[in-house]
Structure 1
Amino acid sequence: MKFKLIMVFVDQDRMEDVLNAARDVGATGATVIHNAQGQGLRRHLTFFGLEFMGARSVVLILAEESRSTAILNSVTQAGRLDESLETGIALELDVSRTRGLSEHIRELKKSPTNP
């Protein structure tokens, strides 16, 4: 069974929407990293010329390959990622090897590709 890793960098106030959207189209779980910070295309300067880097959440979704496109499209829409420069990004990476998924794979084989 092949897997993809979907990484979603999104404002924390949209994280729940992203998680729900992913689950609705077949994601079986996710890991969330809170309070990630980074720089975007443009710097946001505040008092005394200091740069403001707002907190983001990083949502990591390991998805079976046949479900990954639907999940990526769904989280993009739920997170409103294409609305402006500041809303976040999502990306998909190929996963060459996994460990610890034997029981997950058995369950995935029992369920249909599209829930």
Structure 2
Amino acid sequence: MKFTTVIAIVPDDLEDTAIAVAQHAGATGVTILSGKGIGGQAKKTFFGLIFEGSQSVLLMVVGTHLATPILKALHEILVDGDGSRGLAFSVPIEHLTGIDTRQVARFEEYMRREDT
């Protein structure tokens, strides 16, 4: 089985929704990192204080065939007209270690049942 990493960078207020959407599309596990970003536009200030929005970085190792459905599902909540509230992308994995092969077997069995 080939694997891909799906990475989503979302505002903290969308974290739970993004995780639920990704899991519904097939992601079985998510690693969550905290971060803050600097966009291409000037930072907003309030009485001389700079506002930097907190973000969550979601990392998911999934079967390659699930990357596109997960990205499409995330697109639905991240893109609104001309604006975007985050981004998501995938990176193919060439080598992987540490994954529980029993989990892979259970996942493959689950996918076979879904196809019938």
Instruction: State, as a whole percentage, how many aligned pairs show the same letter.
Output: 25
Q: Say which SS state the counterpart of residue 51 (structure 2) adopts.
A: coil
SS in 2 for 1:111: helix
Q: Which runs of 5+ in 2 are unaligned?
A: none
Provide runs of 4+ in structure 1 moved above 6 Å: none
TM-superposition CA deviations, 1:46-82 (whole Å, max 9, x none)? 143x54321001111111011110011111213x235
Paired residues in the alignment total: 111
Q: What is the rounded CA distance, in whole Å, between the counterparts of 1:110 and 1:88 in structure 2?
A: 33
- The structure where strand makes up a greater share of residues is 2
TM-align CA RMSD: 1.9
User: Using the alignment, how far apart are the partners of 1:62 and 1:68 within structure 2?
Assistant: 9
Distance 1:112 1:2 in 2: 14
Secondary structure in 1 matching 2:60: strand
Matches of 2:112 and 2:42 in 1, distance apart? 42
Q: What's the TM-score, normalizing by structure 1?
A: 0.85
Q: 8 Å contact 1:66–1:113 — kept in the other structure? A: no
The Cα of 1:88 is off from its aligned counterpart by 0.9
1:92 aligned partner, one-letter code: S
Determine the C-alpha separation between the residues in 1 that align with 2:88 and 2:80: 10
- Contiguous gaps of at least 5 residues in structure 1: none
